Structure 1
């Protein structure tokens, strides 16, 4: 994810026209409660303020990144400016692009991610606008699940992260984790993304694994070199596969039967 350098922020001279008041915060906090080993990256996207006709050449400086190096330094709280000025153009934050990321192995490539978003508008119909509690927090929810498959000649296990939005009770909805607010709701507030991890993993591609009481077995397919290796009704011939840590296994996730 690409970040951008910060340029001077407009004072309240501009902000007064967009809902700022003397002494009122011009930032809000985005934070996340994630499963162990998970992190998020965020990009705050800025667009010309309402009524402005200016543009930023090439869009340079209209995006600000957070947790870009999440494997080295991760901060769950991101302080996000509501207003910025770039190339003389007054901007307001319009959305937060979020990437939910996790590693499933020690190799650098053993990482997968899925997406979430926060949308910010000048106006929103009530059904789409989230509210805040008495302490100024608003929480939206989601769940992620690991999906596994094999790739390459050794049939190495690779995992994909699949994230969906849920309600507070865990009922799964359509689409990825998402929330929406109006600009005038956010000053001094906290927006929290709460993600749970589904306990059970599942195959990423249907018809390629068979479930047994103690785990999943990989269908052989036409031969061990068959990269697709669909079962096609053959539930007797299975292949070994290679775990991310190098073990050769016959059943997932326990490795040995």
Structure 2
């Protein structure tokens, strides 16, 4: 089978990133062949999905069981007032198809249980966790470790954000459970504690950037590093994170 090529429309659409020597034609082709699962289409998932679709990632799998609410619109910029009461997945599909009709969109309207999550993760090359609760993050992490798929994880609440990449293909990479264990069980959500909209946009944009780096094969992904964002003081801090050999999720993975 011949190697897929970029047509004239694609060359023009993606010309600004193709100009980058770190991406070029080969990197763009890698993106066009890539399949990505986005878990959560809210404040983080909105910029993630918009930027990955705009960048030409070939297939986006969209997972969210919720509907759009008026209170979402302050930060979930993929949706609008006309989408209130509509499934977030359907709202996202409408917006992303209008942005880039070249991207294939796969819908997951229901909450992903252990079996469906495992199948959804196995069907893609990379996963972005844009959810807002600890149990979902733990389940997504376990599925990614089991399937050896890289995970880009982001979170934001109040005026603080964080971001890291967990890559089970790298023997030195920690997983989400190495970092948090069972300690976030009492974690607050944005509906309880509040969050400023541009912060989730910032974290989601950084998640999209990390995904592009992994998929196109350039730069240094945030593997083994945790980026902490203090929006109040406009400060960024980085912590090194090591793999836990006794981790109950990845401790025995090779």
Larger Rg: 1
Q: Larger % of helix: which?
A: 2
Q: Larger % of strand: which?
A: 1
